[in-house]
Amino acid sequence: MKLPYLLPWLGAGLLAIFSCSKSSTHPLPSGQDQPSITISDVTLARQPRQNISFRFYLGLSTSSTQEVTVNYHTEAGTAIAGKDFISDSGVLHIAPGSTQAYVDITVIADSLRRPNQTFYLVLSDPNHATLAKNKATGTILNQDLPYLPTSDSGYTSPLSYPGYRLVWHDEFDEQQLADSNWNYEIGGNGWGNQELEYYTSRPQNVFLSDGKLIIEARQESYGNNAYTSARITTQGKHEFQYGRIDIRAKLPVAQGLWPALWMLGSNIKQVGWPQCGEIDIMELIGKNPREVVGSLHWKKADGNVATFNNKYDLSQGDFSQAFHVFSLLWSADSLQILVDDIPYVKAARQDLSDGIYPFDQPFFFIFNVAVGGNWPGPPDQTTIFPQRMFVDYVRVFQQN
């Protein structure tokens, strides 16, 4: 063969060789023509009486002309398989032309109020698709459930006393707070003390469980406030003058919390505060977890607020660890405030003589948990929410 005929053949061959070499150094990306799979997170409130399904949706970025398959399985997080959800695994099929499918995972019914829980649905081994997101979170909302037991340990008081009769009580054994006994005070205006909470009537903040009244303070945005809680009264429904009052309660003790069991004079709408009088059977400032304060307030002759009070300190433990009984012994001419039958505030009429004596008229109850305020100060990084006050009963005895 002559050289002029060989060169054209070599040129075409070399061009083919160089073209193949260039292509081999830049391969097409794997899965370039395949759709990608994503999976959505799911958040649902748990139900107390029936199981519910958490539906996890899978989506394709574009439909495929081929059937797409992907393996899935559940993984436990803070939620426990077999107790909180039913574990599952399998293969999910997405038909040609479709862009969506789903997997249902069963969440087991429960009524216990507790922190929210999580579990996961994990994808693997896709066929005719790639994974853009291979794991979704299922969040089980438990914080609004109705059952919240607590240890009943602590001090107790009797249902009768010699020389007294039981004239009214609430043992909180019903399913919900009785409207015939209690009012809900609503709002977030600081309540005269620069408090930070918004008081609501929601079951998230006040409910009955296991024979206890529970007032729950939460850190959450509500109205213009960063916290919620509850404040209930017997105003206009149950008002009392003299006798013995016992309230059995367990208290929140964190920084910035201010639980109180107290009374105001029933004529507050006519004369205002402090002329109506105030009896604080129990107040606790969260930074002092072993100390409660009992106080009497009224209006002095010069118009200022008069205060007669004292504090009571536990010898061990704090007021969140067990129930204690907070009591008032009240007659026409004296008042005593007690913890576990130990009197620590004792006032005779002559001790409260500056101004108009208000403690010879009916008073009504107020139970609340304040957050922040002039006295306790705000919560800080040590304050863990929610915080709760448990009240086992309130009982009013009067002399025969």
Is the pTM higher than 0.95? The answer reads no
Q: Calculate the alpha carbon distances from 177 to 49, 170, 248, 323, 388 in Å.
A: 21, 9, 17, 20, 16
pLDDT exceeds 70 at position 371: yes
Residue ranges of domains in the chain, CATH in brackets: 36-141 (2.60.40.2030), 164-399 (2.60.120.200)
pLDDT at 32: 55
pLDDT at 229: 98
**Secondary structure element (H or E) that encloses residue 388, with its range:** strand 387-399
Bridge-based pairing of strands 130-131 and 100-107 is unpaired
Span 328-353, average pLDDT: 97
Span 226-245, average pLDDT: 98
Catalogue the active-site residues. 278, 283
pLDDT at 12: 41
Question: 259-316 pLDDT, tens per residue?
Answer: 999 999 999 999 999 999 999 999 999 999 999 999 999 999 999 999 999 999 999 9
Q: Calculate the alpha carbon distances from 36 to 33, 63, 110 in Å.
A: 10, 10, 37
Span 7-14, average pLDDT: 39
Bridge-based pairing of strands 225-229 and 197-199 is parallel
